[in-house]
Structure 1
Amino acid sequence: RMRGRADRRGKTVVHQLSVSLEDLYNGTTRKLSLQKNIICRKCGGCGVREGAQRRCPKCHGSGMEVRIHQLGPSMIQQIQTVCSQCQGQCEWIRPRDCCLTCNGRKVVREKKILSVHLDKGMKDGQKITFHEEGDQVPGLEPGDIIIVLDQKEHPVFRRSGDDLVVKREISLADALCGCRQLIRTLDNRTLLISSQPGDVIRPGDLRCVPNEGMPVYRSPFQKGKLILQFQVKFPEPGWLPSDRLRQLQTFFPAQEEVMATQDTQEVELSDYVAQGGPGRRPWGGDTC
Structure 2
Amino acid sequence: MSLQADPTVSFEKYHGTSNDFVIVDADEFVPNRYAFATTYCDREGGVGVDLDIGPDGHIGADGVLFLALEEKYSPPRVIMTLVQPDGSTAAMCGNGARCAAAWAAERTGASEVMVDTQAGTRHATVDGADITIEMGVPSFEPRDVPLARDEPLVDEDVEGLRVTAVNTGVPHAVAFVDDVDDVDLEAVAPPVRHADVFPEGANVNVASVGEDGIRQRTFERGVEGETQSCGTGAVAIVAAAKRLGLVDANEPVTVSPPGGDLEITVPDDAPATLRGPVAHEFAGELARDPSADQ
The answer to whether TM tops 0.5 is: no
Between structures 1 and 2, the one with greater helix share: 2
Higher RCO (CA-CA < 8 Å; seq separation 6+): 2
TM-score by length of 1: 0.18
Which structure: larger Rg? 1
